[in-house]
Amino acid sequence: MKTTPVLALLALAAGPALAQPAGLPPGDCYPPAAVAPPPTAALPAPAIAEPPTLPPVVVVKPAPSPVRPMMSDDAKFATLDTSGNGALDRGEVSANSELVTRFGSLDKNHDGKLSRMEYGLRNVDPAGGR
């Protein structure tokens, strides 16, 4: 067979290429200079990104509105009754446009004055509700 001599020739030709270089201990494949030493230098620390600096938050609150405490009907009546006689005449209500307009309909007994009871009727709905 012709294949056997070809294989023998290949083995003879490859022998010196596969042989271990001189001066190496048995089992070593590479010369000592070819072995890279382990790295001794420390790797740089990874850069940590700083969070962005944001401007401070400014909270603007609206100024408190001047709130007048609600006056009771008795306190309102007493404020309007400048004469202190317990009734309101047209002159005493002249600064209140609603009372000037409704004075005739609120004065139930048509005496030209609003009593405390007549003054209280200004908030009553004519249809019967309040």
Return the DSSP state at 37.
P
Measured at the CA of 88, the angle between CA 85 and CA 92, to 5 degrees, comes to: 105
**pLDDT of 89:** 93
Return the DSSP state at 89.
E
Per-residue pLDDT of 66-124, as tens digits, reads 777 777 888 888 999 999 999 999 999 998 888 899 999 999 999 999 999 998 888 77
| Domains along the chain with CATH numbers | 73-123 (1.10.238.10)
**pLDDT of 107:** 92
